[in-house]
Structure formats: C-alpha cells, structure tokens
Amino acid sequence: MSEIRFPLPDVGEGLTEAEIVQWRVAPGERISLDQVFVEIETAKSLVELPSAFEGTVTELLVEEGRTVDVGTPILVIQTDAADGMSSPDGAPAPAEAPVAAPAAPAPSTSESPDAGGAVLVGHGSTGPSQSRRRRHPAPGGAHEHLAPPPAPPVVSAPAPSARPAAPASAPAEPVRPAERHDDGVPVIAKPPIRKLAKDLGVDLSRVAPTGPIGDITRDDVIREASQASVFRNIQTPELPADRETRIPVKGVRKAIAQTMVQSAYSAPHVSVFVDVDATRTMEYVKRLKASPDFAGVRVSPLLIMAKAMIWAARRNPTVNAQWTDDEIIVKHYVNLGVAAATPRGLIVPNVKEAQAMTMVELATALEQLTLTAREGKTQPAEMQGGTITITNIGVFGMDTGTPILNTGEVAIVALGTIRQKPWVVDGEVRPRFVTTIGGSFDHRVVDGDVASRFLADVASIIEEPALLLE
C-alpha cells in the first residue's frame, strides 16, 4: 500500500489559486481512476477534478469554502501500489510526490463518471474502446514519477466465489431509489446534468430521457426549461432573520469586479442607440426553425444578431480592434463574445473564428457556449482572445442599456427585448415586432461616425436579414 497526498493542480491559463466548492468523496470511500472527486472554482469558472489515482480516500485536507494555492495538498489517497517505492537515490519517495499508481482493470462496459464533462488536461478518459495504460509523465512535470517501474504482475485466476459479478452496463451515476418517472422507471442522470437541472429548476422525474441507456441528457433538460426562466424569481422569499448578509469577494465575483473597474476607468465609453423593426427577423427565425438543416439546433434572434455583427464589423473594421498605448490592432477575424449571466456571475466566453462559420455552425456554437456557461463548465481558454461582444439583455425583458466594454475590446452591442409595438409602415400604424439595439464603444479607437454606421448596419440586418445573402 502507498499513501498519496494529491495537490491542487494548475487547471490552466496561469491561475494560481482556487476555492474548494464541493467534495464528491468522503474519507473511507473507494475512488476509481478518472472519478470526479471535487468541484473547485477559479477566478474564471467551475471545474470538476478527476482523480489520477485509484485507491481509498483516507483524509480530506481542505474544507469546503476555503481558497488554497496551486500545489497545496487537498486529499490523501491510500493507493493499491506495492510498498517499497523509492526515489532514484534509494531513499523513500516523498509523501507528497504524486506517483501515478497503476489502476486496477475496470469493466469495459462501465462509463467514466466524467464522460462528456470537463476533463483536466492529462487526466481525461481515452475512450471506451481503449485499454488504459500506465502513465509516464515527462521529467520535471507536476506529476513526476519518482519510483522505478513495478515488477510485472503475476496473473492468477481468483476463485469463482471471490469474483463479484459485473453489471452488464453501469449508469454514469448511481440511481437514487427515491427518484422515478411517473411510469416507475428510475431516473438516470450524470452529476453535471443533475446540477444543470437544479440550476434551471427542472424536476428530473418529469423529463423524458433520450440517452442510449435510458439516461437524461443535457438537451432533455434544456427542452424542459425555457431560456427566459433561467434566472426568473419563482417566489418572493421572506426577509432573513439576520439584519445583514456578508458575501466574500472572491472567485468569479472578484474577477468580475476587477475587470469592470479596469474597463470603466481606462476606456472612454460612448454609447449610441437605435430602434429597429425586427418583424422580418422573427419571420426568418421561424423559417429556420422549420428547416430540416436546423433540426435539433436552437435558433433564436441572437443568431441573426450575431451574424449581423460579424457582417457589420467587416464593413467597419475598427470596431473589431484593440487599443494599446502604442498602436491600434485591427483584427481581421471575429472571436465573438457572448455575455452570459450564470448563477456564479457574469462571464464572457467567445466563439472562435465566428466569421468563418455557416449559419448552422454558428447556431450550434452559440448553443454549446450557452449550455456550457449555465453548467459552470466554461474553461479559461474559452474566455480569452475575444474581439467584440454581444449582450442579450432582451431575455430579461430589458429594452436597452449602456453595457461596459469587455477588457481588451473596443465595441459591445446590447440586444433588447423584441415585443410587438405600434410602428408606422407606409404611412399607417401597424403592430410590428420592435427592439432597441444599443452599443458602447472605446472613443479612443471608434469615432462617433464609425460607431453610428456600425450600429446602423447591424440594424439593417435585423430589419432585413436577406441582406446577409449579399
């Protein structure tokens, strides 16, 4: 047996600390290779950590809610590795050295607990059809292997009575006995799907499963909840007994505050607004939803707005730029940021190379971006390198606003709610779908005439989407 002290790993983008949000294991519990054992929150997102070892949890070194530095031991695991491991000089291996212990073979029909979720680099599963091999990290890495290779295992056939029967198939998460559908069938859902359902207020027992083993998928949950109800207050709670609630400024909230202050006080903002007849956009969205090419893809006015911004940025390239003290860098590609209000705060992931995408590809990318953000699975790399941003405040019933620029960008556009209003058409007042588009710009880069032309171009697409066919 060998005891391993598992350190908090660097999950990327140079982050130096993270908060322990929720332990998924307890002392005395058996843990398998690649099993998600803890949720951590960095300044960027919520991340699930998979185990690099197999064994028994003996101690949790950090309590939930505490923030620790990368490299701090957080978990002690008693592995199945043979005793007597030593360092090259013959001394016993350090207790905190993350030696990769060989994993016991798992049934080939079981599913990795973090399948389809966030995978920590170097710890992900390799696919259901591949056999797992011993890991050989590169010298000097965070998981340096200090022990010599163990002797080849002696294969022996155990007695039939000592071998537990393996199930034909295993769900991603043990079925909870109390959870059943109306027809009595047990509810099967992975942990990320359960968390998404909880965030959206969806009762899993009322969701029709479409997964390959009768499990509930992410799309099943999304179909059960409308986008507008994600952050809608369902009921008015009573005032707490305490006179005050103090919320620590850390994690995502701390990063949001620093970014907003930096943007607001370093870039001179200027804002412009325009009312738009979006009736043809609504008709176009309806046609796309009925098209076989968009089957299974979420289509909304946000898709048309995204295409309009890409088109308008090509006609007014300085809105897709970056200011430095020495030069203005105009980007000839569009990494389209979408401001997402998640339960953990505002984040701005972006769709890479959006200018090269077809309408279907862009719709799929926007849907994936939104779903990942809602689940808290957005990775730091997905929020880096944005060139221009859109914020859809219309889903909350807002007409317009003055958005703050995303740091490093010079333009952001807000799409307001689309509702029927009286509108003059050919001298007659008619009911039309009307929205308000507002934009904020860095006045060091974008002059008033460019800002106005850009927003007018966006409005022209919302009024007549057929212009995209030019």
Can you tell me the distance from the alpha carbon of 464 to that of 470, in angstroms, rounded to the nearest whole number? 12
Asked if 71 contacts 11 with a C-beta cutoff of 8 angstroms, the reply is: no
pLDDT for residue 298: 86
HSE of 46, CA atoms in CB hemisphere, 13 A: 20
DSSP 52: S
Q: What is the pLDDT of residue 235?
A: 60
Q: pLDDT tens for residues 202-240?
A: 888 878 788 878 888 877 787 676 433 444 555 667 888
Please name the amino acid found at residue 448: G
Is 145 one of the annotated active-site residues of the chain? no
Element (H, E) at 339: strand 336-342
**What span, in angstroms and rounded, lies between the C-alpha atoms of 284 and 278?**
10
- At 408, is the secondary structure helix, strand, or coil? coil
Name the active-site residue from 123, 181, 269, 443.
443
Low-confidence ranges of the chain (pLDDT < 50): 83-178, 226-231
Q: Delineate the domains of the chain, giving CATH numbers in brackets.
A: 1-170 (2.40.50.100), 173-225 (4.10.320.10), 264-469 (3.30.559.10)
Encode burial over 157-179: b for 16+ CB neighbours within 10 A, e otherwise.
eeeeeeeeeeeeeebbbeeeeee
| Distance, CA of 17 to chain centre | 19
Radius of gyration of the CA atoms of the chain, in A: 26
Q: Cβ(293)–Cβ(362) under 8 Å?
A: no
How does DSSP assign 420-438, residue by residue? Answer: EEEEEETTEEEEEEEEEEE
